[in-house]
Each structure stands twice: as structure tokens, then as C-alpha cells.
């Protein structure tokens, strides 16, 4: 019976929905995390009586046909790129992007990765690195005798050296934007890789047209709205239950058919 398989597609889809929601909730306090949402599509339809076929010798045309769908599938798990809130930390090396763009990070393999998590630190050599110790691109080295670091909204890094009054420019933070940022591949550790779907990275300075601005002393929180996630979770759970009910009903009907005398 078809409904058995249809109920199964519903349960599989809702299971993936719950998995997506639980990953969002688990990352609700992850810096720079962008929530994901499962999107569903109906499957193919089978025509039992084609629309427009005739229903009598007189040529009467059936107004609508008999089409039975084959269930549901997950079309995509889309990333919602809404800006997260800015959380003030007052840490000199915490920077948040206000608007579109990604920091560029050099991986140990030499490849470039992209991130929105601006909780940077200094390496033993004074290089600005991510929480995992990967340097940002282009490399910015803070002199060891610097007493103050200031990063302005267009990404210029200025330091004040011990005993000096004037500040000194030591580097420029750059951002990358993508035609389709939702097409970036998440690799974990808050990092994303460029893909064929995202388009090539366009690099520019913060504050330039199309690029976000930089806020020093703040971190972009995840854009997960926990209340919204919980309500979606309840909807997903109920949908799962109803699909299992479909399977149970079909099973009972099949049982009756097999017990026919």
C-alpha cells in the first residue's frame, strides 16, 4: 500500500527536521553561528486519471484528475543569514561584523576558510589568530611592546606603543563576501569553505559598499531564537507522530485484508 511508504517519507523528513533544530539549539550560544532550517518539498505525483481525459462517450472532460502524491522530502537545509546580536565583551581583540562579510582564515593546510566568529587572540609571535590558533588573512602582527590596540569600523588596526603618544597602523582586516553566502560549506569550528554554489569570494575592506562594518569589543552571538526553535521542535514532533499514525492505520487495514475469509 502506497500510504505506508508515504508515512515513512514523512517520518524521515521530520527526523531530519528535529536533527536540524537540535543542532541549532546546541549552538544557540556559539559565536557567529547561523541557524539552519529544513525546507520540504512534495514528491512526484502518480496519475490514476489524467486531467482532461474524457469521462463519457459524449466527450465530457473530467474537470480534475486523480493524482496521488508520493510523500515528502527535505529539499534543502538552508542557512538563515540574519545578523546575530552584538554582545559587548570589551575585549580588545573581540571583533564583530555588522553587516555582510566573513573574516578570512588561513588553515594549516594553506587553504583559506571563512568565519563570522571574531573572538580573536594573539599567538606567541603576536599574530592575530582565531580561537583555534589559525592566523587571519592578511596576517597582522601586534608588536610586543604595544599597550593598546584599536580597530576602527573600516578594519584598520592601530596600536599604541609603550612610551609613545601617537598610534601606529599595523594592518588592515579584510572581509570576503559571496554572491550566495548560504551556499558556503560549513566545516565545523565556526569555519566555512567556498563552494561552487557560493560563488567566488570578493575581498574588500570593511565599510566599503556591500561589506559590513567592524565593531571592536563585541562578539556576534548566534542568530538562533530559542523560543522559535522550541515551537518548531513541537511542530516537528507532532508531525512525526501523525506520520507514524498513518503507518499504524495502514498496517491495521492491511491486517484486515489479509484476514479475509
Partner 1 sequence: MENSIYVAMSRQMALQRQLDVTSNNIANMNTAGYKNQRMLFTEFVERPGLHEKVSFVQDRAVVRDLSNGAMTQTGNPLDLALTGQGYFTVDTASGPRYTRAGNFRLNDQRQIVDAGGLPVLANNGQPLVMPAGTSDVKVSGDGTVATELGPVGKLNIVTFKNEQLMTEVGNGLYVTDEQPEPAPVETKVAQGLLEGSNVKPVVEMTQMIEVQRQYMSAQRMMDNEHERIRTMIQRLGRSV
* Residue 85 interacting with partner 1 (CB under 8 A): no
Question: Which residues within the stretch 170-199 sit at the binding site for partner 1 (CB under 8 A)?
Answer: 177, 179-180, 182-183, 196-199
Calpha distance 86→222 (Å, rounded): 9
* Residue 227 interacting with partner 1 (CB under 8 A): no
Calpha distance 97→120 (Å, rounded): 13
Residues 137, 171 contacting (CB under 8 angstroms): no
For partner 1, the closer of residues 52 and 133 by Cβ is: 52
Shortest distance (Å) from residue 132 CB to partner 1: 28
Shortest distance (Å) from residue 92 CB to partner 1: 28
Beta-bridge partner residues of 46: 68
Calpha distance 120→104 (Å, rounded): 12
Determine which residue in the list 29, 210, 230, 234 makes contact with partner 1, applying CB under 8 A.
210
* Residue 261 interacting with partner 1 (CB under 8 A): yes
For partner 1, the closer of residues 101 and 171 by Cβ is: 101
Beta-bridge partner residues of 96: 215
Neighbouring C-beta atoms of residue 216, cutoff 10 Å:
20
Residues 159, 146 contacting (CB under 8 angstroms): yes
Residues 116, 97 contacting (CB under 8 angstroms): yes
* Residue 153 interacting with partner 1 (CB under 8 A): no
* Residue 56 interacting with partner 1 (CB under 8 A): no
* Residue 2 interacting with partner 1 (CB under 8 A): yes
Task: Give the total of residues touching partner 1 (CB under 8 A).
Answer: 70
Residues 126, 134 contacting (CB under 8 angstroms): no
Calpha distance 37→229 (Å, rounded): 10
Question: Which residues within the stretch 25-54 sit at the binding site for partner 1 (CB under 8 A)?
Answer: 37, 39-45, 48-49, 51-52
Determine which residue in the list 16, 18, 25, 78 makes contact with partner 1, applying CB under 8 A.
78
SS3 state of residue 85:
coil
Determine which residue in the list 88, 147, 150, 242 makes contact with partner 1, applying CB under 8 A.
242
Which of these ranges, 78-86, 137-145, 146-154, 162-170, lies near partner 1 under the rule CB under 8 A? 78-86
Which residue carries 472532460 as its cell?
61
* CA 150 centroid distance within chain: 31
Mention every residue, 6+ apart, whose C-beta is less than 8 A from residue 215. Answer: 86, 95, 96, 97, 98, 153
Mention every residue, 6+ apart, whose C-beta is less than 8 A from residue 231. Answer: none
Grid coordinates belonging to 180: 550566495
* Residue 67 interacting with partner 1 (CB under 8 A): yes
For partner 1, the closer of residues 81 and 161 by Cβ is: 81
Judged by the rule CB under 8 A, the positions of this chain that interact with partner 1 are: 1-3, 6-7, 9-10, 13-14, 17, 37, 39-45, 48-49, 51-52, 62-72, 75-76, 78, 80-82, 99-100, 177, 179-180, 182-183, 196-199, 202, 209-210, 223, 235-236, 238-239, 242-243, 245-246, 249-250, 252-253, 256-257, 260-261
Amino acid at each position: 500500500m502506497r500510504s505506508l511508504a508515504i508515512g515513512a517519507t514523512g517520518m524521515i523528513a521530520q527526523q531530519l527536521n528535529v536533527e536540524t533544530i537540535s543542532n541549532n539549539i546546541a549552538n544557540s550560544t556559539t559565536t557567529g553561528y547561523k541557524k539552519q532550517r529544513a525546507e520540504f518539498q512534495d514528491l512526484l505525483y502518480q496519475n490514476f486519471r489524467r486531467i482532461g481525459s474524457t469521462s463519457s462517450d459524449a466527450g465530457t472532460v473530467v474537470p480534475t484528475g486523480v493524482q496521488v502524491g508520493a510523500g515528502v522530502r527535505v529539499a534543502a537545509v538552508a542557512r538563515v543569514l540574519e545578523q546575530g546580536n552584538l554582545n559587548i565583551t570589551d575585549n580588545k581583540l573581540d571583533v564583530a561584523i555588522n553587516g555582510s562579510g566573513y573574516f578570512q582564515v588561513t588553515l594549516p593546510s594553506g587553504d583559506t576558510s571563512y568565519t563570522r566568529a571574531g573572538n580573536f587572540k594573539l599567538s606567541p609571535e603576536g599574530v592575530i589568530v582565531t580561537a583555534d590558533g589559525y592566523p587571519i588573512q592578511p596576517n597582522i602582527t601586534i608588536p610586543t611592546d604595544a599597550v593598546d590596540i584599536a580597530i576602527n569600523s573600516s578594519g584598520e588596526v592601530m596600536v599604541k606603543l609603550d612610551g609613545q603618544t601617537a598610534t601606529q597602523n599595523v594592518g588592515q582586516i579584510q572581509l570576503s563576501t559571496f554572491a550566495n553566502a548560504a551556499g558556503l560549506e560549513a566545516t565545523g569550528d565556526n569555519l566555512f569553505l567556498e563552494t561552487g554554489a557560493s560563488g567566488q569570494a570578493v575581498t574588500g575592506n570593511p565599510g566599503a559598499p556591500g561589506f559590513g562594518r567592524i565593531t571592536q569589543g563585541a562578539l556576534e552571538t548566534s542568530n538562533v531564537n530559542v523560543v522559535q526553535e522550541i515551537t518548531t521542535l513541537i511542530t516537528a514532533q507532532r508531525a512525526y507522530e501523525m506520520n507514524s499514525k498513518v503507518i499504524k492505520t495502514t498496517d491495521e487495514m492491511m491486517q484486515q485484508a489479509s484476514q479475509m475469509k
